[in-house]
Amino acid sequence: MKLFSSVTGVVFPDPKNRLFLWTLLILLSLICGAYFLGNAFSAKEYKQRLARWGLIYSMPDTTTSNSNACKKQCRPSGTQALPQGIVARTSNLETRPLWDDSAVNNRISNHPLNLLAISVGVKQKEVVDKIVKKFPSSDFVVMLFHYDGFVDGWKNLAWSNRAIHVSAINQTKWWFAKRFLHPDIVADYNYIFLWDEDLLVDNFDPKRYLSIVKEEGLEISQPALDPGKSEIHHPLTVHKAGSKVHRRYYKFKGSGRCDDNSTAPPCLGWVEMMAPVFSKKSWQCVWHMIQNDLIHAWGLDRQLGYCAQGDRMKNVGVVDSEYIVHLGLPTLGGSNGNEGSSNSHRDDSDRPKVRMQSYIEMQVFGKRWKDAAKKDQCWIDPYEQQQANQTSH
């Protein structure tokens, strides 16, 4: 029997019908909730797919902001699978003891701050011994590049055990440097002396030299050459008596003049390659400019100013007060070098071949530089205007 309310005029169903309606209402609510929830997930997935396809731009999701921040971190290639705190990005050339942790910790805090790397053959052991003895072990790590393979021939020298020895037959200093002096390997060293073996250092003190370099702000430098005893290839390197540092060479007669208007090598902003000294920052640049296959590095010297961390007219120079003698011995491919090794015998006839290869590599490097400068639309030559002004004069 139906109930009727005279006040509202509403007819109430009986209890059985009311139970059915409530059940139906709850069921419909559950279905709608499931539908909207599923639709939300589908819409998110759909938008993500469209975003990946490039059809729409995906809006930033605040719930994934932390994930996006992590993706923007600059990580070395190959370290993505590692927690960032465990990544050791740099190294050095120091040896470590096999025991005694305290000794290790002391060496870490007091390791030498500079590197002396020399390309050597056993024939010049006496000269190299005098060079190394000038560089105090408290300030310098010593690394020898053995181009003749005679590593054992150096064992009788007092400092040999603390030096790093690398051997490869008939390879140049620049071949060794490209492979073993990566900036991440030598990151601990403030200055890198990349020297030849045929240098006399009677008038040279490395600590005083570095003091002058720092005072003058030289990023790339070399000691001057004694003109009376050295083989001189370029006048800019000649020692000037009474001078501390010079950055410029003057020549007022003949071809290739150098004056106050000169802005490019070999008048200024340039050092020779037998005894260069690089700051850490400049070496990070120079290493990348060394071509892996051009092992004689001819032509590289004229472009070193681009790695001077600023104006090469100021940051590249020759130190006069600490000078050396360059003997100019023909080691690789010459009569004074490699015949000491049974695996590397040469005669004088090979020397012209080495010189010719050096010249060819210089031409190749020059072409690569021109091609690279032309193709790189983002690179601006900081010295182009200076060189144009010099040419007009």
Pair 136, 208: CB distance under 8 Å:
no
What pLDDT score does 95 carry?
83
Span 138-178, pLDDT tens digits:
999 999 999 999 999 999 999 999 999 999 999 999 999 99
Length of the chain equals 393
Q: How high is the mean pLDDT of the chain?
A: 83
Which tokens go with 113? 């701050």
Query: Is the per-residue pLDDT at 319 higher than 70?
Result: yes
Torsion of CA 243, 248, 249, 252, to 10 degrees: -120
Strand partners for 115: 141, 192
Pair 173, 119: CB distance under 8 Å:
yes
Pair 340, 148: CB distance under 8 Å:
yes
> Where along the chain do its domains lie?
108-330
Global pTM exceeds 0.85: no
Pair 93, 176: CB distance under 8 Å:
no
Strand partners for 141: 115
Query: Is the per-residue pLDDT at 80 higher than 80?
Result: yes
What pLDDT score does 219 carry?
98
When pLDDT is cut at 50, 70 and 90, the band that residue 384 belongs to is confident
What pLDDT score does 40 carry?
52
**Mean of the pLDDT values across residues 291-307?**
95
Which residue reads 């004229």 in tokens?
302
Tell me which fold the domain 108-330 belongs to.
Answer: Spore Coat Polysaccharide Biosynthesis Protein SpsA; Chain A (3.90.550)
Could you write out the DSSP letters of every residue in 34-74?
HHHHHHHHHHHHHHHHHHHHTSSPPPP-GGGHHHHHHHTS-
Span 204-221, pLDDT tens digits:
999 999 999 999 999 999
Query: Is the per-residue pLDDT at 255 higher than 90?
Result: no
Could you write out the DSSP letters of every residue in 129-159?
HHHHHHS-TTTEEEEEEESSS--GGGTTSTT
Lowest mean pLDDT among 31-40, 226-235, 276-285: 31-40
Most confident among 18-32, 47-61, 228-242 (mean pLDDT): 228-242
Q: Which helix (H) or strand (E) holds 237?
A: none
Span 87-123, pLDDT tens digits:
888 888 888 888 876 655 554 556 789 999 999 999 9
Who wins on pLDDT, 269 or 254? 269
Closest CA to 132 of 118, 114, 145: 118
